[in-house]
Amino acid sequence: MPKTMTLRLSDEQAEKLETLARVEGVPVAEAVRQAIDQRIEARRKNKAFQERLKRMVDENARALELLAR
């Protein structure tokens, strides 16, 4: 199910985003979704991010185990 979000941008960011969307021929919302997808993909390929993610997963697993007792 789609999730609606509110995003606060500076006037400059909004203008750049609207320009990018017009040039690409897509709605602003689609330009935002594409940017998010690109950011996520970049992080998936980033070794330092993956190491931080693994640490967080491990920490959360330990916390869940403690709560389950």
Would you say residue 5 lies in a domain?
no
Could you tell me the pTM of the whole model? 0.77
> Is residue 20 assigned to a domain?
yes
Overall number of domains in the chain: 1
CB neighbour class for 32 (10 Å; exposed up to 12, middle 13-18, buried from 19): middle
Q: Give CA–CA dist 17/32, Å, rounded.
A: 8
Let me know if residue 2 belongs to a domain.
no
pLDDT by residue (tens digit) across 17-63? 999 999 999 999 999 999 999 999 999 999 999 999 999 999 999 89
Asked, for residue 3, whether it belongs to a domain, the answer is no
Answer yes or no: is 40 within a domain: yes
Domain that holds residue 19: 11-68
Identify whether 41 is part of a domain: yes
Q: Is residue 1 part of a domain?
A: no
